[in-house]
Amino acid sequence: MFNLNNRVAIVTGAGSKRGIGRTIALALAEQGAHVVVCDLNLAGVSEVVEEIKEKGVRSLGLKCNITSEEDIKKTVTATFNEFGRIDILVNNAGITQPVKVLDTTPEDWTRIMEVNLKGTFMITKAVLPVMIKEKYGRIINISSVSGKRGGGVFGGAHYSASKAGMLAFAKALAREVGRQGITANSVTPGLVATDIRGGLESKEEQQKMTADIPCGRMAIPEEIAATVCFLASEEAAYITGEDIDINGGSHMD
Ligand SMILES: NC(=O)c1ccc[n+]([C@@H]2O[C@H](COP(=O)([O-])OP(=O)(O)OC[C@H]3O[C@@H](n4cnc5c(N)ncnc54)[C@H](O)[C@@H]3O)[C@@H](O)[C@H]2O)c1
């Protein structure tokens, strides 16, 4: 599809078995990129690294908690030592919680913000100097339709606020780094069939959740990964500060 030969990508939260991050990591590798797979879950990371290597590109697996400055530093250093460059960062790691505002504690709020928003900021800040030196970079945030329509899908208001923050962060960053050959964009998926909701929903609930989606179903992770590959490519050099909806029509703007 798009030539990503010898590009080096870091994908956060890519160790989840049915997750969007894993699928993105595999899709980038399929297009020729070497991929650094990061997650809290090291066993999951190792499996993805093996799958990537089978595609004939190189891969490095790292335990990286994106809320830890130390882990981030180690990740960026290890990536640079191994590959000598960083071209693509996919900010995919994220958590959610289905809770009403009145039941949300300050600790809940902080936890969601720390991972989804502050973690995104911290790892982006850490890779930027390398991209600026290269005069090339692709930063892609995995936000959510919840950040645009104000939830109503699964997560609470804190999740929506964190995902809206990711959108604004990418736009503001795009203004700062455009002249250095770096783009910053977001994708905003609607419901995707993964384990992020902890398999909590029953068949009936799933039917209810998809009833109002014009496409009549959840997305599969591959449908998110395809757009990420496009945004990661040279062909997308003039797209920046944009967010691309992948939601089956559940939100149109
Ligand atoms: N599944 C959906 O319906 C949906 C919709 C819109 C947006 N998203 C977003 O897509 C992204 C991926 O979600 P998913 O559905 O694949 O979920 P998932 O739970 O399958 O994967 C998320 C991964 O992030 C990792 N993670 C969590 N906290 C982390 C941290 N502090 N540091 C590093 N890694 C961490 C988890 O270990 C997990 O492997 C998330 O940002 C999510 O908000 C998902």
pLDDT digits (tens, 9 = 90+) for 33-55: 999 999 999 999 999 999 999 99
Hey, is 89 helix, strand or coil? strand
Residue 160 within a domain: yes
The mean per-residue pLDDT over the stretch 193-198 comes to 84
Q: Is the Cβ atom of 247 under 6 angstroms away from ligand 1?
A: no
Determine the pLDDT at residue 31: 97
Is the beta carbon of 15 within 6 A of some atom in ligand 1? yes
Residue 186 CA to ligand 1 center (angstroms) comes to 15
Ligand 1 touching residue 192 (CB < 6 A)? yes
- CA of 42 relative to ligand 1 center, distance in Å: 15
238 tagged catalytic: no
Among 77, 71, 79, 68, smallest CA distance to 37 is for 79
For 114-140, how does the pLDDT look when each residue is reduced to its tens digit (9 = 90+)?
999 999 999 999 999 999 999 999 999
d(CA 20, CA 94): 10
CA of 156 from ligand 1 middle (Å) equals 15
Is 154 among the domain residues? yes
* Average pLDDT over every residue of 201-227: 89
CA atoms within 13 A on the CB side of 27: 24
For residue 221, is it within any domain? yes
Task: Give pLDDT, residue 199.
Answer: 66
What the block records as the tokens of 94 is 């994220």
φ, ψ (nearest 5 deg) of residue 37: -100, 120
Q: Is residue 119 part of a domain?
A: yes
Q: Which of 136, 154, 159, 169 is catalytic?
A: 159
- Residue 229 sits in a domain whose CATH number is 3.40.50.720
Note whether 87 and 231 are within 8 A (CB): no
β-partners of residue 91 are: 141
At position 142, the amino acid (one-letter code) is I
- Would residue 109 count as lying in a domain? yes
In a domain, 251, yes or no: no
Task: Identify the domain containing residue 50 by its residue range.
Answer: 8-246
pLDDT band at 205 (very low <50, low <70, confident <90, very high): confident
Q: What does the pLDDT read at residue 228?
A: 98
Q: Does residue 33 belong to any structural domain of this protein?
A: yes
* Tens-digit pLDDT profile for residues 81-109: 999 999 999 999 999 999 999 999 999 99
Whether the CB-CB separation of 199 and 106 falls below 8 Å is answered with no
Q: Residue 117 CB: number of other CB atoms within 10 A?
A: 22
Report the SS3 class of residue 87: coil
204, amino acid identity = E
Domain count, the chain: 1
Residue 252 domain flag: no
Helices (H), the chain: 20-30, 42-53, 69-83, 106-113, 119-134, 146-149, 157-177, 203-210, 221-232
